[in-house]
Each structure stands twice: as C-alpha cells, then as structure tokens.
Amino acid sequence: MSSSEVESALIAFQARDYDECLSCLDRLSHSKDSKVESNRWLVEYLRDGQVNTKDYILQLRSIETEPSEEAKQINKYNEALLLFQVSDVSGAEKIIQPLYTSSTTRKACDRWSFSVGLLYGDILIRSRDEQAMQIFKEMEDRFSVLLGSDSNLALNFHALKGHAHLQLGEYEDAQEEYQKMEKRSDRGNDIRMASLGARIETQKKQYDLALEHLSKCEGKDKERGIFCHNMGCIHHSMGKHHTSLWYLTQSIQNETEESNKGEKEANMKENRRGEVIVSVGYQLLMTGKYEKAFTCLMEGLRYNLRSSRLWLRLAECISLHHHTKYVQSKEAASYKRVRESDEKVILLGTTETSAGEPMSLAFASKCVCNSIYLSDTFAKEGRDAVITKGVLRASLLLSGYIHLCSHQPNLSLEHCKRLLSISNDPQERCLAAIYAAESLCLLNRPNEAIQVLKESSVEKMKEDIRTNTREIESQYLYSLAMASSHLVKRRMYRRRYPSGTERMPLCCPPISVSSEAIKRERESN
Amino acid sequence: MLNPKELSTLLSIIAEDEKSLENVSIQFHKTFQKQDVFKVECCLCSLLSEGLIFEITHRMVAYYLLYDSYRTDTLHANPFLQLFIQILKEPNVSQAEKFFVGSLANAPSKEFSKKSAKDLTKIVATTPIQTDTLSQSYHNHINIPPLSIQFRGISSILLPPDRSTKTKVLADSECMEELLREGARDFVPPFVRPAPPVYPGFHSEDIKWVTGVSHSFAWDDNMCKGRSNLDALLERASTTPLEQRELQEVTQLMSEASTQALEVALSSDQLVDVIEHNTQVAVGFILKMMSTATIDTYLGALERTQMSLQSMEVVNQLTSTVELPSPFLLRYINNCIDQCQRYKDKFTQQRMVRLVCVFISCLVRNKIIQVKDLTPPSSSVQSFCIEHSKIREAASLFRLLKNLETPNGNGI
C-alpha cells in the first residue's frame, strides 16, 4: 500500500539511506504527486554530496503549480537554506521572512515553525541585523515547551542567541546563554558550546580562556574543520596572523579530506569554502604576501561578487604590492652612463605595471571603484551602517592613492575631497589631504593645495595614539613645503634660452641636439 | 611617460589640421583611454613648451586639445592655463598663434570648433589682433597677478658645459622620445606619497565564527497524504455505507485524483463491494473511468456482479448519464435473468423477477435498449416473461415488448 511506502521513504531519509529512499519514491511516482517529485530532488541533492546547489535551486523554483500552501512553504524553506549556504544572505532573507511571519499563526509545539524561526535568526545574525535578537525573544516565548523537551533544539537555539548577543556587545547575556547550554548538554565537548564560550572570551580579550574552551573539541575528527576555523578566528583577534593562517588552511584541508572520504555531510559544507578562502586571503594580506592574498581573494569573489569589503581588500593587495615594488626600485635606482661624457645620466626605474597584468593599477582602480559603488548602494539600502561607512572611507582614501599612482589626479582629487567632507579620523584626513595636495599640484593649482593642507589640521592627529603619527606628520609637512615651493615668486628657470645657446635632453648622448630647434632659435633671434 | 608608438599616434592626431577641431578632439579621446588622457596631455604640454611641434597648425590643434578637455570647467580649473598665458606673453610667438590662444579664453562658439586649424589660420591672418587685450582677457578670467611665474623644477634640458664640444645632431623624433621617456622630464623633488594602511575593520567582518549549528532540509510529510485519504475512504466504502460527509469528501477526492491513481486505489473486485454499499461512489468511480482503457474491466465486473437492487440502481444511473455499450447491457440483463432462475426460495425469486422486469421495462421505455435486441434468439427475455407470467411485472413487460414489436408500435 502507498501509505507504507510513504513511511518507508521517510524512515530511509531519516536514516540517510538515500538509495533506499529513492527506491521508495520511485514506487510512489505513479501517484503524480508533485510532493514526491520535490522530495526526490532533495534526496538526489543530498545523495550527490550537496554539490549541485544551483541545479537544485532551479528545480525548486520551477514548481509553479503546487496546490498545497504547505508544500510551497517547504520548498521555500529549502530554497532559503540553500541560498544561506551559498552566502546569498539577502536572497535567503527575502524568502524566509514571509515564511516566518506566516508560521507565527501555527501551533507552539510545531517543529516546522521552530526550524523556520531558527534559520531566520541565523540569517539575520549573518547579515548583522539587530532584529535577530527580537526573533529569538519571540521564539523563546512561543516554543518554551519544545525547548524544554528537546535538548538538541535547545542547544541550537541558545548557541545562536548567544552569538546574537555577542554581535550587540552584550557579553553578560551571551554568558547566560552559555550557562543554559551547559545545563542542557550531556557532554562537555559540544562544539556549539565550545565555539560560543571561545567567542565570548575572545571578545573580552581573554584569549587563554578562549583557547581553553575550544581545545575541548580538538580531538573530534568530524568537527575538526570547525575547530580549526574558530582557532583561526581567535588567533586573528590576537593579531597572530601567521598562526591564524595556518589554522584556516588546516580547516580547508580537513574539509577536503572529509569530502574525499565520502563524508557527504562534512560539517563545513563546500559553500562555506568561499568564506574561508576570503579569511585566508585576509591573513595573507596582513602578513605581506600580497600576490597569494590576491589569488585567494579573487577565488573568494566567485562566491560573493557584492562584497564591498572584498573589492577593497583586492585593491589593497595591489596597491601595497605596487608600493613595495616602487620602494624597492627607488632603493635600487640604476645608473646608466650614456656615452663617454662629462655628465652622468641617472635613469629612474619605472614601477608601473602594464595594464594587462592581473595586479595592475588599472585593475586596482576598478576594484576600488566597485567598492565605492557597492558601499553607496548599501548605504542607500540602510544595510550595516557602521561597517559600510568605514569601508566607504577606506575605499575613498585608497582610491586617492591608486589614482595618483596611475596619473589620474582629477579622480584622485574628487575622491579625496569627498573623504575630507565625511571623515573625522585624523589619520584619514591627513593622508587624504596629502593626496589631494599632490593632485592639485599636478593640476597646477598650488594655492588650493596649500588650502587643503591647512584645513586638515595636523594638530588633532597628535591626540591619536597610533604609533605612526610622527611619520604622517612629517609627510604632511613635507607636502606643505612642496606645495609652497610651487609658488616661489622668483625667476628660477627660463623656458627659452638666450639666442645662440643650444639645448640638449639630459638623457640623450650629452652632446646631441635637435637640428630644427637650433634652426628656429637662430631664426627667432 | 609615452612610448614611441603612443608618441607617434599623438603626433599623427595633431597633424590632422584639415579636420575640424571638434572631430580631432573626438578622435583624440577615442584613441587614448580615459585614465591616460591627463598623462598624454601633460606630454603634449611638454612638447609645446619645449618648442618641439614646429607647424603652427599642429600647435593650434594641440592648444585646442588642451583647452577642450576642461571646457566645461572654469578657466581657472584648466591645469595647462599657464602654458596659454606664457604663449601670449612670449615675444617670439606669431600673432596668429596668440590670437588663437586668446580666442580660447573667451569660450569660443560652436562654429569655431567646427573649423579646421588651417581654416582658422586663414581667418586669423586677415583679422587685426591686439595681443595685450587678449592677454588681459585671460587675466580677467582667472584673476591672478600678471607676473606670476610657475616654478617647475629643474629642466632635464641643460646647457652644455662646453660649447666647443662637438655636437651630434639628433633627429627631432629622437629628441621628442627622449624628452617624454619616463623620468626624463623636469627634475622636481618628488611628493612623498605614503600608501594608506590596510583597513582594520571590525573583528568579525573579514573572518566569521562558525557557530556549529546546522540546519536540516525539510522533508514533505504530506507526500501522498491526499491519496491515502482516498484509499482509505474507498476501502471503507467497500465495506460499509459512508456518511454524508465522507461521501462528499470521497467525491471531491475522486474528482481531483488522476485515473491512474484511482485505478490503483480500487480494483474491479473491490468495485463490486463498493456497489453493494455505496452506489453513489460506484457510479462516480465508473463515470470517472469511462474514458480510460480499463473501463471494460470494471464493466465486466459489473456484469458478473451478484444481481441486486444496488447493482441495478448503479446501471440505471449510469444509463441516464452516459451511453453504455449495448452488448454490456444485454449481457447484464441475461446475467440477471440467469441469476433469477437459480433462486430456490420462491419468495425471493419472485421479488428478483419483479425487479428485473421493472428494470428492463425502464430501459425499453427510455429507449436505452432496442426491442429487437430483446427478441429471440438474441435474448431470453420473452421466454423469461412467459415463464413467470403469473407475476404482474413480467406480464406487463411481455405485453410491452409485443406491442413494440408489431408494425403499429414503435418498433425500435
């Protein structure tokens, strides 16, 4: 009978025996029930190791005629979970939010509604939305019975709620959630509990305690990926970027090994790889390995094109790489002697990479412009206001530098002026003023250059506790002198030589002149 | 700053002195990318200030290009403004050239841009020019002291220390290439340009904690649930009469279900049971299956079913709704007649005979079945009626058949 087939399919699904489950679903296919088809797609996706995510999303979206509202909701939930896994947080949020709203009318012991709420809360945490806490409070009231009866659900709930508290800086509340988890957990080395405890201590800068928390889960193979990743987070907060890098690469290697062993449900799914790659790229950037950082960040772009921070990091890689090469080339300036003569010729080495290279200033210009565009877009949408402003300011400052290096003083000036109008940070203002002044001098407007430098007062900067204050101050004063020198009102140089003289470009053989030029000079005189 | 190929391209553009200035400007902006335009313009400025562009028309095109890029801004915003002022003050520059440069200060009209450099040279040659006025007009626009001089560093072009040293003559192009090569321009103290620091951001921005919480995909528990209800109701219908609510539900479910599902849900044997307990359900089922290939199976079962009021009611309702095949009806009637003969109990037999006769009469009167099909030897109805002639319904049926058989009757 078909009802027993339905039960068999469910039992096989819960036991993760996907082949058997598919066999049961095959026998039910005559019923032409679209729900059988939906379940079949799900089982095939899980059986194949959750790699064909895009295909599965397209299948879910292709169902248009679903008579049952419940079935629609289940498909929508699965779609939201998929988008969440591929880091399309905004897409996932758009789908899950109406589901959550409609689920509030259902019974309080409904596990389906609880799952929807938990996923919604996790999505809001990931998008740093403060509404996450409100969702968790509502759920705590609605599902008190369910939370009391099911320990696993309770641990999931308190873990996420604790992380939500930490995002709001509420350490005490996060600690309370941790203690609730301790009471409900039957083992002391639950990875969820350990991760929350470690994060609490990390944010309080108690790194030893953080490491102690996490080390409880060190030996467990299946959770090693999470363990390594979170160890990377701790060391990143400690400023130990090399160690952090080591742990993050270990987490990627572990996840790859688990997949190779056939562990279809490795804890760190393939789609989280994108986030880890970006974290690795950031550590490489902080440790000065710009080219490798660039490669990792470009890989991370595949998973998230709409990250303004990611574009900013790419531009930083290129600009620091360029700056390093420029400094090295100045130190190793080549001296070329052109023919035997009384003059020596000094040739300055060029540091400009060609536009065709991946790490070129032209590409850096595109990256930083993308970052500015996305930051403006997110600001209009009201997303992550504090972080968006910070990224925008950093992008404008970097743009000022990059466009100066690539001989685009107009664009550099425009962005520096914009930054000066929105930033109160002394170091940012000082650097922006330096770039703006150079741009204005290149554009033959030294008056304005001096004005810009004077307006971005260096006095405020002295209050800053950062150690490079003195260096910035000296650079600022140098720029001021440079701009002023452009206005020296004395005749230092004649454009045209007096009659009878000859001119020669310095870098030519020293006794060569242009015949036409001589002729013109003589004719004019 | 410019390689020889780029220099050659630039020189070929400014040599277009027969094209309109507007078109030359368009060509210039198409040739060089936006991010390189300022660099090229600086090189053009160097060539002009070092007197390395020798044709006046070429120089006019060059001045126009330097002006045109900043025409939408104020004159003061043009970074090459000082070059224009210098040209106006330079005693060795021709009047025509000064007039051209001066005209640029007064926001020339569109007609000006549509002319070529050669055309403008001819116009200028016939127009009296006052260079002091032109120079003043520049200063009026920008309001700077007339004697301001730009300090641009030490030129890369120096006087040779010893004039008696023999000089090797260079071609103009080589001279230009050397001048515009990177690092070979004016020697100015370089600006210190510190690289901005890496954006520190917040702790959790670039590197996110993993919470360890995993979400499971949802399995649709309602799979086949509707069908199961139908199965259950049909199963129940085959054993017991359904309630009104159940009747409505099963009718609704059957209308939504596919014929394949119904075929699976109710076999022909089960249909016989449903007929006995729920005639409405049986009628609805058979009507739903009428268009399928398996209807013959279900009708065959109906034929062989135990003769009863319910089965006859089903057939009667079916005949009033759809056109049942005549052979089926004949076989069904013959089956009923055979079953009547087998009853041993007289009372029951009589009752059954009456039912059959009324049923056949109904079919005949409604013209569902043809009289000729009921005459021997195709049918044993008449002999059946004769055999049970003592029963009133049988006698009525016989008379009916006979009346309809005669030429006066409606022998259908």
Question: For residue A391, what is the domain's CATH number?
Answer: 1.25.40.10
Sorting pLDDT into bands at 50, 70 and 90, what band is B140? Answer: low
Query: What confidence tens digit (pLDDT) does each residue in A77-125 have?
Result: 999 998 888 777 888 899 999 989 888 766 656 788 899 999 999 999 8
Cis before B194 (ω within 30): no
pLDDT above 60 for B231? yes
Write down the pLDDT at residue B268.
Answer: 82
In terms of domains, do A375 and A469 share one? yes
In terms of domains, do A313 and A450 share one? yes
Pick the residue of B7, B69, B219 with the most A CBs within 10 A to test the interface with A by mutation.
B219
CA A475 distance to own-chain centroid: 30
Can you tell me whether residue A38 is helix, strand or coil? helix
Nearest to A365 among B35, B80, B154 (CB): B35
Write down the pLDDT at residue A316.
Answer: 94
pLDDT above 90 for A417? yes
Residue A240: domain span: 219-303
pLDDT above 50 for A503? no
Q: How far apart are CA A139 and CA B359, in angstroms?
A: 67
Quote the mean pLDDT of chain A.
77
In terms of domains, do A268 and A384 share one? no
Flag if B218 and A438 touch (Cβ within 8 Å).
Answer: no
Sorting pLDDT into bands at 50, 70 and 90, what band is A521? Answer: very low
Write down the pLDDT at residue A340.
Answer: 35
In a domain, A104, yes or no: no
Write down the pLDDT at residue B166.
Answer: 46
Query: Which residues, at least 6 apart from A440, have a Cβ–Cβ distance to it below 8 Å?
Result: A409, A413, A446, A448, A449, A452, A483
- B169 to chain A, any CB pair closer than 8 A? The answer is yes
Q: What is the average pLDDT across B132-155? A: 51
In a domain, A188, yes or no: no
Query: What confidence tens digit (pLDDT) does each residue in A276-333 have?
Result: 888 899 899 989 899 999 999 998 887 777 788 889 999 999 999 988 887 666 554 4
In terms of domains, do A363 and A273 share one? no
Write down the pLDDT at residue A69.
Answer: 66
- Helical H runs in B160-278? 172-180, 203-206, 225-237, 244-256, 259-265, 268-277
The closest alpha carbon to A79, from A65, A96, A66, belongs to A96
Q: What is the average pLDDT across A456-461? A: 56
pLDDT above 80 for B297? yes
Tokens for A183, please give them.
């009471």
Write down the pLDDT at residue A412.
Answer: 94
- A107 to chain B, any CB pair closer than 8 A? The answer is no
Question: How far is the CA of A25 from the CAs of A9, A34, A441, in angstroms?
Answer: 7, 11, 75
In a domain, A2, yes or no: no
Can you tell me whether residue A333 is helix, strand or coil? coil
Residue reference for tokens 């051209």: B100
- A174 to chain B, any CB pair closer than 8 A? The answer is no
Residue B131 host element (H or E): helix B131-142
% of chain A exceeding 90 in pLDDT = 28
**Greater confidence, A495 or B357?**
B357
- A147 to chain B, any CB pair closer than 8 A? The answer is no
- Rounded to 10 deg, the angle between the B172-180 and B4-14 helix axes is 120
According to DSSP, the residues that pair with A514 across neighbouring strands are B170
Q: How far apart are CA A4 and CA A10, in angstroms?
A: 10
Nearest to A488 among B79, B151, B171 (CB): B151
Q: Poorest-confidence range of A157-161, B60-64, B115-119?
A: B115-119
Write down the pLDDT at residue A177.
Answer: 94
In a domain, A225, yes or no: yes
In terms of domains, do A456 and A313 share one? yes
In a domain, A449, yes or no: yes
Tokens for A54, please give them.
């895009």
Write down the pLDDT at residue A65.
Answer: 52
DSSP A156-183: HHHHHHHHHHHHTT-HHHHHHHHHHHHH
Query: Which residues, at least 6 apart from A367, have a Cβ–Cβ distance to it below 8 Å?
Result: A311, A312, A314, A315, A318
Q: Tell me the backbone φ, ψ of residue A514, rounded to 5 degrees.
A: -85, 130
Flag if B157 and A504 touch (Cβ within 8 Å).
Answer: yes
Write down the pLDDT at residue A231.
Answer: 93
Tokens for A259, please give them.
């997949």
Write down the pLDDT at residue A492.
Answer: 35
- B81 to chain A, any CB pair closer than 8 A? The answer is yes
**Greater confidence, A213 or A344?**
A213
DSSP B287-334: HHHTTSTTHHHHHHHHHHSPP-HHHHHHHHHHHHHS---HHHHHHHHH
**Greater confidence, B262 or B275?**
B275
In terms of domains, do A324 and A390 share one? yes
Write down the pLDDT at residue A68.
Answer: 60
In a domain, A345, yes or no: no
In terms of domains, do A320 and A294 share one? no
In terms of domains, do A391 and A476 share one? yes
Q: How far apart are CA A507 and CA A112, in angstroms?
A: 79
In terms of domains, do A263 and A322 share one? no
% of chain A exceeding 70 in pLDDT = 73
115-144 in chain B: CB under 8 A from chain A: none
Tokens for A242, please give them.
């090399």
Amino acid identity at A32:
K
pLDDT above 80 for B371? yes
Can you tell me whether residue A229 is helix, strand or coil? helix
- Rounded to 10 deg, the angle between the B268-277 and B295-304 helix axes is 50
Query: What confidence tens digit (pLDDT) does each residue in A232-282 have?
Result: 999 999 989 999 999 998 888 887 776 666 554 443 454 567 778 888 998
Q: What is the average pLDDT across A55-70? A: 71
Domain count, chain A: 2
Pick the residue of A16, A231, A506 with the most B CBs within 10 A to test the interface with B by mutation.
A506
Flag if B226 and A33 touch (Cβ within 8 Å).
Answer: yes
Angle CA B49–B51–B55, to nearest 5: 125
Query: Which residues, at least 6 apart from B191, have a Cβ–Cβ distance to it below 8 Å?
Result: A434, A437, A438, A441, A479, A482
Q: How many helices (H) and strands (E) does chain B have?
A: 22, 2
Residues in chain A with CB shorter than 8 Å from the CB of B234 are none
- A1 to chain B, any CB pair closer than 8 A? The answer is yes
Q: What is the average pLDDT across A11-23? A: 89
Pick the residue of B187, B209, B252, B258 with the most A CBs within 10 A to test the interface with A by mutation.
B209
Quote the mean pLDDT of chain B.
79
In terms of domains, do A397 and A290 share one? no
Write down the pLDDT at residue B128.
Answer: 57
Flag if B210 and A230 touch (Cβ within 8 Å).
Answer: yes
Write down the pLDDT at residue A480.
Answer: 62
- Tell me the range of A379-383, B87-91, B252-256, B259-263 where mean pLDDT is highest: B252-256
Write down the pLDDT at residue A77.
Answer: 92
Write down the pLDDT at residue B148.
Answer: 35
Write down the pLDDT at residue A178.
Answer: 94
pLDDT above 90 for B152? no
Quick one: A203 exposed, middle or buried, by C-beta within 10 A (0-12, 13-18, 19+)? Answer: middle
Q: What is the average pLDDT across B274-282? A: 91
The closest alpha carbon to B45, from B125, B124, B133, B150, belongs to B150
In terms of domains, do A261 and A286 share one? yes
In terms of domains, do A291 and A245 share one? yes
Flag if A195 and B203 touch (Cβ within 8 Å).
Answer: no
| Long-range residue pairs from B266-273, CB within 8 A, at least 24 positions apart, any chain | B266/B234, B266/B238, B268/B297, B268/B298, B268/B300, B268/B301, B269/B301, B270/B234, B270/B235, B270/B238, B271/B298, B271/B301, B271/B302, B272/B301, B272/B302, B272/B305, B272/B306, B273/B238, B273/B239
pLDDT above 80 for B217? yes
In a domain, A245, yes or no: yes
61-80 in chain A: CB under 8 A from chain B: 68, 70-71, 74, 77-78
pLDDT above 80 for A3? no
Q: What is the average pLDDT across A24-46? A: 82
Quick one: B129 exposed, middle or buried, by C-beta within 10 A (0-12, 13-18, 19+)? Answer: middle
Quick one: A68 exposed, middle or buried, by C-beta within 10 A (0-12, 13-18, 19+)? Answer: middle
Q: Tell me the backbone φ, ψ of residue B170, rounded to 5 degrees.
A: -100, 150
Write down the pLDDT at residue A113.
Answer: 87
Sorting pLDDT into bands at 50, 70 and 90, what band is B283? Answer: very high
30-59 in chain B: CB under 8 A from chain A: 35-36, 38-39, 42, 49-52, 54
Write down the pLDDT at residue B91.
Answer: 80
